[in-house]
Structure 1
């Protein structure tokens, strides 16, 4: 009688996908050890250099990876002898020839040492992920503005957790983790996220992207796939410079 009852129970367990390991505590270390798949080996860069699997977008030698956002012609910004590039006023934004989705981005920037103007007109530029979502670049040293538009903000959406800029004229670093939003049948089904580390300080902690980052109006969510990395010419003689730009694709 006992055997007749136990057989259906064992069959039910077998076909339900249930396993003993889900309820029984492991008794050996090997039961909780996983050996595959093995993560790929990446050699870190030294002193800010890109790691071995990075895509180098700007190394200071040319604009070969960049075009004008206006008309896809050659980038017209200034290439400097120190291995940096500087916004050339009123020539327009520039963007990468290559499109990306989710990325880890390293980029270095500086505002001019000679302070001119104030508010949003001082050392203003921006890093646009997917060509759409702006991480603000601005000289905020002794220069107050609206906090969701200050340096390190996700423009008009998220104020930074801290203002971590170095003195005007010195080089800042942004290390950004961007996960692109997901769209299905023209509708957003998962929001994108951005994490920003500014000069080693966490200033955006996996914040949700609400949509586009317009100067006027609410965020919008047009469906999109991969897009370029875009750098802004704010059109106010901002003279912002960039150097050492690389990405690692996350998908």
Structure 2
């Protein structure tokens, strides 16, 4: 954790923790990389369709750049026709760059009732976006494994923010020795604290290793940040990532 130190008279030294900014509108730290700034140029430069077994979409990416319905600027919509009917994996987009440990910020707005998408860490572990559902397959769940501690969703037509710190699974001689771990803030509220993630859910169409041993066969490969298309209008903006090496077996921040 970064710290701010103040030098006071008489040689007293007081050190305060300097917490990372979280929530809607959080600015990218100087050492972080912007993954999506609202522009078509950055979408094409840093993202592509995930080449999974169900891929139906073809480049260039058909996710549209649209006007931000709340603030100035432009954003992107997940409403790709090739993902219609809930066909996850048919038109999902993923960063061209792959990551291991990181701090991630994603802002999203659900435009319609039941709007469905998801944020995938390492193109494996889904943090759900689903309007109207707070179950293990619902909003802000670490899908099928952990419920959020509280309901922090701001509702339809409003910008929401996930702030995520992720530590990838660890391996020795090709065997997993430590599971992936994650801490998540949702609109500034800590909803998951240093949770272990067991597996990939949803089969081979879901993400990396989804087809290995029913999703339990996690491999030692970095993965991109993936956003899911299921034929719903979910908007995204202000996505940035800060690469880290998290030595300690703890993701809290």
Provide TM-score, normalisation by structure 2: 0.72
Once the 2 structures are TM-superposed, how far is the Cα of residue 219 of structure 1 from its aligned partner?
4.5
Structure-2 residue corresponding to 1:247: 241
Once the 2 structures are TM-superposed, how far is the Cα of residue 138 of structure 1 from its aligned partner?
1.1
**1:25-62 superposed Cα distances (whole Å, 9 cap, x missing partner):** xxxxxxxx9xxxxxxx9997995221111100000012
Structure-1 residue corresponding to 2:119: 127
Given candidates 52, 55, 63, the residue that maps to 2:33 is: 55
**RMSD of Structure 2 on Structure 1 (CA):** 2.8
Structure-1 residue corresponding to 2:149: 161
- Distance in 2 (alpha carbons) for counterparts of 1:248 and 1:211: 24
Given candidates 221, 226, 238, the residue that maps to 1:225 is: 221
- Distance in 2 (alpha carbons) for counterparts of 1:223 and 1:180: 11
Gaps of 5+ in 2: 1-12, 69-73, 84-90, 204-209, 246-253
**2:184 counterpart SS class:** strand
* Greater C-alpha radius of gyration: 1
1:178 aligns with 2:166: yes
Structure-1 residue corresponding to 2:49: 68
Preserved CA contact (<8 Å) 1:56 1:247: yes
- Distance in 2 (alpha carbons) for counterparts of 1:172 and 1:192: 25
- How many residue pairs get aligned? The number is 200
Preserved CA contact (<8 Å) 1:157 1:213: no
**1:119-138 superposed Cα distances (whole Å, 9 cap, x missing partner):** xxx11111010011100011
- Distance in 2 (alpha carbons) for counterparts of 1:148 and 1:154: 7
Preserved CA contact (<8 Å) 1:156 1:214: no
Gaps of 5+ in 1: 1-32, 34-40, 116-121
Pick the structure with more helix per residue.
1
**2:136 counterpart SS class:** helix
Structure-2 residue corresponding to 1:119: none
Structure-2 residue corresponding to 1:99: 98
Preserved CA contact (<8 Å) 1:212 1:219: yes
Structure-2 residue corresponding to 1:85: 76
Once the 2 structures are TM-superposed, how far is the Cα of residue 99 of structure 1 from its aligned partner?
0.7
Q: Where do 4+ consecutive residues of structure 1 move more than 4 Å?
A: 41-47, 215-219
- Distance in 1 (alpha carbons) for counterparts of 2:193 and 2:61: 33
Preserved CA contact (<8 Å) 1:89 1:238: no
Cα 1:47–1:154, aligned 2, differ >3 Å: closer, same or farther?
Answer: closer
